[in-house]
Amino acid sequence: MREEHSNWFSRWEDELPSPDELMPLSQTLITPDLALAFDIQNPSNSSPPLPCPSPPLSNPLPGSGNGIVPPNSADFGDSADLGSGAASDEPARTLKRPRLVWTPQLHKRFVDAVAHLGIKNAVPKTIMQLMSVDGLTRENVASHLQKYRLYLKRMQGLSGGGGGGGAALVGSSDPATDHLFASSPVPPHLLHSARTSSDHFLPYVPMATLQQHHHHQQQMAAAAAVAGHTQLQPPYHRQVGHFGSPPNGQFEHPFLARQSQPIHRMGTPVHNSVPNYIEDLESANATGGRKVLTLFPTGDD
DNA sequence: CAATTAATAT
DNA sequence: TATATTAATT
């Protein structure tokens, strides 16, 4: 049992993927014209974000060894038709994004964002913005949030206050959902109801009124990566050589996520040191042929 | 319009 | 199965 509950917040940043964990791959998966269509540019961006809440979080990113790397220089000169022919045809419209795979890392990010926002501000749009993960849509977050809330409810009912590890308890847990959710500690604040008035000090200043604007570009970035196919299984790549993830004998195709963030700075302009997030596309599983978009290396905590 | 939720679809 | 999508409601 761990008791790190007392100050999980001092660790949360530590647990963020370090730069060396991420793979700075840059690969052009998209055809030039397609890229232009989506306004996809080279990842020269720095790392935006994740505004830190009030507590002075230091940022000891252990990024010492940066070893891995690079970019495969090998460009596959477009293996040509990436698709059954459609890639460079129609606009981003009607393109279907692959299903998002919620890896433990990605979920961690999600939980951290929710935790730092507080129950009151943890709504899909805000969470999505805080996560700053390219390719993530509000709907992705909303869908996941719905499930996550159900998970929390179940836990509140069964956990007698110990809340130690926050692991899944036997009984009425759905093995399916619990497995993912259990991989990341549940911050105490998320448990139990939210206070309407005096909440504990969870001093995150709400960002100024959010404006709604159309965003299509970012979604398209991911979509573009898989450039419209409906039934083909384009050769994508999975990077990581981590253990735990069985090496797929499949072809892979790394794609660097773009982190453009159209949103303005939020209330607290603290230092930012969030590493870039990588988008990883993974080929369909043998179970069908579904295309899946994975943002993040699949490793577990 | 955004959020929430239940139901449904893939 | 896990996630997406839809519809009804706030």
- Domain assignment present for A218: no
How distant is C1' of B7 from CA of A147, in Å?
Answer: 14
Count of structural domains within chain A = 1
Cβ atoms < 10 Å from Cβ of A288: 6
Give kind and range of the element (H or E) at residue A114.
helix A104-121
Q: Is residue A268 part of a domain?
A: no
Structural domain including A124 reads: 104-156
Beta strand A280-282 with A292-294 is antiparallel
Q: What angle do CA A269, A273, A275 make, to 5 degrees?
A: 135
Nucleotides of B under 7 A from a protein CB: 1-7
Residue A110 placed within a domain: yes
Within 13 Å, how many C-alpha atoms sit on residue A9's CB side?
18
Residue A151, in any domain of the structure: yes
Q: How far is the CA of A140 from the C1' of C7 (A)?
A: 18
Q: Which of residues 174-213 of A touch strand B (CB under 7 A)?
A: 212
Nucleotide nearest A120, CA–C1', reads: B3
Question: If we measure between CA atoms, which residue out of A56, A50, A53 comes closest to residue A17?
Answer: A50
Q: What is the pLDDT along chain A (301 residues), one digit of tens a residue?
A: 434 444 444 444 444 444 334 333 333 334 443 443 444 333 333 334 445 443 333 332 232 323 223 333 333 333 334 344 444 555 655 678 889 999 999 999 999 999 998 888 999 999 999 999 988 999 999 999 999 999 998 887 765 544 444 444 455 677 778 889 988 888 877 766 554 444 444 444 444 433 444 444 444 444 333 333 333 233 333 333 333 333 333 333 333 334 444 444 443 333 333 444 444 444 444 445 678 878 665 444 4
Could you tell me the distance in Å between the CA of residue A286 and the C1' of nucleotide C6?
A: 28
Q: Which stretch of DSSP H or E encloses residue A293?
A: strand A292-294
Q: Residue A21 CB: number of other CB atoms within 10 A?
A: 19
| Pair A238, A252: CB distance under 8 Å | yes
Residue position matching structure tokens 């930012």: A272
CATH number of the domain within which A148 lies: 1.10.10.60
